[in-house]
Structure 1
Amino acid sequence: MKAVQFSQFGGPDVLQVREVADPIAAQNEVLIEVKATTVNRLDLFQRNGSRPVGNLPFTPGLEAAGVVLQDSNGFRAGERVLTTRASQARGGGGYASKLAVPATDLARIPEGVSFEQAVAAGLAASTAWGSLFDLGHLQAGERVLIWAGSSGVGSIAIQLAKHAGAWVASTASSEERIKTLKQLGADEAINHRQQSVSKILQSSGGVQLVIELVSSSLQDSIDSAAPEGRIILIGNLGGKEATVDTQSWRLKRVSVIGGGQLHTSVANEEKILRLIAEKAVQPLIARVLPIEQAAEAHRLLESGDVQGKIVLTFA
């Protein structure tokens, strides 16, 4: 089978297309032919050596959408499926053309949802759902702030929160991205480089929930929260360190909950895919490239210019 791997750490050019042995599915696994995967920031960190990986050569890829190759564990050959746990599959990560995936890790893709849409939702949507509902316990009528709204997680989180009946504020760093937030349904779109997020939100009573994807903005999140608000700390796009005023934190009784990379249940992932089929939400796709251009996809993500997900496809 075909796989994109790296045998040494470095820039995007260390990614190479190789022929490797097909995985052999264990008793509890389902063999799938991968049709699409995505590029995540963790892929970049693994490739440059700043995050640990297993033995080299290493096949990146956190998620994969594809077709079941043979009947197994309740799945039928030809069924279209998604896994957001491709990095744990036999055969490597999602940059491999075949994977043996535990049946419990597979979500069925409904009619009307393409492989590209499914995988672009993928882990980003699973993390968004987990942060909003599993950890954040978002309720209809609540107010939520979602940082980095044009990112993969942020863009789907805006739509899921709106679908759940929440009032949504989100942030971006340019007027082009502000337009994207409004198109996604944000009630308040704030250019955080030009405006004070916390002043704008506190003037209207604050928010009950914050999805914090930047980390360096944690003080702004505390200031934006209403008393007894919840902050779900998911990402650190702005760096892993933040200085906060503990006085404002404790007096407001704000809860800060570490989330990191989240997986909601497979059942919830299938709910998200059905929402996509119903066109209630749509993943934001920046580019679709063939797997052979994985190095170019890494360069694009590192540039910081893309909005949404970069999808890689297998012919």
Structure 2
Amino acid sequence: MKALRFDQIGSLDALALAEVPRPPALSGEVVVRIHAAGVNPSDFKNVLGKFPYTTVPRTPGRDFAGVVVDGPAGLLGQEVWGSGRELGFVRDGSHAEYLALPAAGVARKPATLSFAEAAASGVPYLTAWEAVERIGIGAGTRLVLIGMGAVGTAAHLLATARGADVVVGVRRSERADELRARGVEAIVLDDTEKFAAQVRDRFADGAQAVFDTTGFWLPAAITALGTGGHIAVIAAPADGHERVPVLDLYRRGGTLVGVNSARHDTIASAASLNSLGELFDSGALPVPTGIVARPLDQAVQTYRELAAGANDKFVFTNTEH
């Protein structure tokens, strides 16, 4: 089978498409024929050596959607999707034609999503799901969402589906105008000193929850927080450190929550994906858009584009088996 491989970390020059044996289904496992595999920033960062626990040689890729072709009889022929911390890091991942993983690590693919749409939704929606769950987003929650990338977009849709009162903060006025044209309430973030006032112009008692998907607004988020509020973060400055107003945080009774989808293995991820699948199939979550599908043969080029700053949501597709 074809698989993207790297045998050392530190440079994308180590990436190459190769012919490797199809993996067997060991006891308690399934083999999935990959129809589509999502590409995330963590995938190229993995090759660049940003995750010290990665072992090589390795096939990268966390997210996938496909059909079970080997394993327990009850799963054969089932359309499934999945993700997990071990895929692409300590066991071979999804940027290949076939993938082996624990049988309990696959979830039924939502019928409303194509393989490409499901594969594009793994890490972004799992990250957003953990954030809205852990900071208690529900009906009427006053939420400020900072950033509208893949995770921010997923979080906005999930929070809206739960009935939250959401304001989105973005850096560019053009982006804010685009969001407003789509009916999304947006503010322009251009000055950390003004952030709390911007939030209180909308929420007089401050935000009950702030989800910073960018890693640059934590100190300002604390000053905008209402009593007993929660802040979720998924990123940090380049050096990993931030100076924060701790006095403001504890006086408000605030809670800081770190969200990291890479903590969850395929089995834990499958449980969350089953819940997300129900939301997609019920219509509570819309079908994802803006996906750029590419054949696996273009994987190396795609990794280089992402490392150079491309923001597209790429998905590798396998049309021949």
In structure 1, what residue type is equivalent to 2:273?
E
Aligned-CA RMSD value: 2.5
Match of 1:145 in 2: 144
Normalising by the residue count of structure 1, what TM-score does the alignment of the two structures yield?
0.88
In structure 1, what residue type is equivalent to 2:229?
G
More moved, 253-262 vs 49-58: 49-58
Determine if contact 2:39/2:120 at 8 Å carries over to the other structure.
no
Instruction: Give 1:233 deviation, angstroms.
Output: 2.1
How much identity, in percent, do the aligned residues show?
28
Match of 2:171 in 1: 173
Instruction: Give 1:258 deviation, angstroms.
Output: 1.9
Match of 2:240 in 1: 240
Structure 2: stretches of 5+ with no match in the other structure: none
In structure 2, what residue type is equivalent to 1:117?
E
Match of 1:300 in 2: 305
More moved, 140-149 vs 194-203: 194-203
| SS of 1:244 mapped into structure 2 | coil
Instruction: Give 1:176 deviation, angstroms.
Output: 4.5
Match status 1:155 vs 2:160: no
Match of 2:81 in 1: 82
Match of 2:195 in 1: 197
| SS of 2:65 mapped into structure 1 | strand
Determine if contact 1:209/1:231 at 8 Å carries over to the other structure.
yes
Structure 1: stretches of 5+ with no match in the other structure: none
| SS of 1:200 mapped into structure 2 | helix
CA distance in 1 between counterparts of 2:49 and 2:175 reads 31
CA distance in 2 between counterparts of 1:170 and 1:50 reads 29
In structure 2, what residue type is equivalent to 1:83?
G
- Number of aligned residue pairs: 310
Cα 1:70–1:50 change in 2 (3 A) is closer
CA distance in 1 between counterparts of 2:168 and 2:45 reads 26
Cα 1:132–1:239 change in 2 (3 A) is farther
| SS of 1:215 mapped into structure 2 | coil
| SS of 2:67 mapped into structure 1 | strand
Determine if contact 2:208/2:228 at 8 Å carries over to the other structure.
yes
Normalising by the residue count of structure 2, what TM-score does the alignment of the two structures yield?
0.86
In structure 2, what residue type is equivalent to 1:153?
V
Determine if contact 1:73/1:103 at 8 Å carries over to the other structure.
no
Cα 1:176–1:38 change in 2 (3 A) is farther
Match of 1:310 in 2: 314
Determine if contact 1:215/1:241 at 8 Å carries over to the other structure.
no
CA distance in 2 between counterparts of 1:303 and 1:160 reads 30
Matches within 5 A, 1:161-310: 161-179=159-177, 181-182=179-180, 186-187=184-185, 189-193=186-190, 196-203=194-201, 204-205=203-204, 206-236=206-236, 240-261=240-261, 263=264, 266-279=270-283, 280-306=285-311, 309-310=313-314
Please give the per-residue CA displacement for 1:219-269, whole angstroms capped at 9, x wherever unaligned: 121122111101122233766221111221121111102222265653442
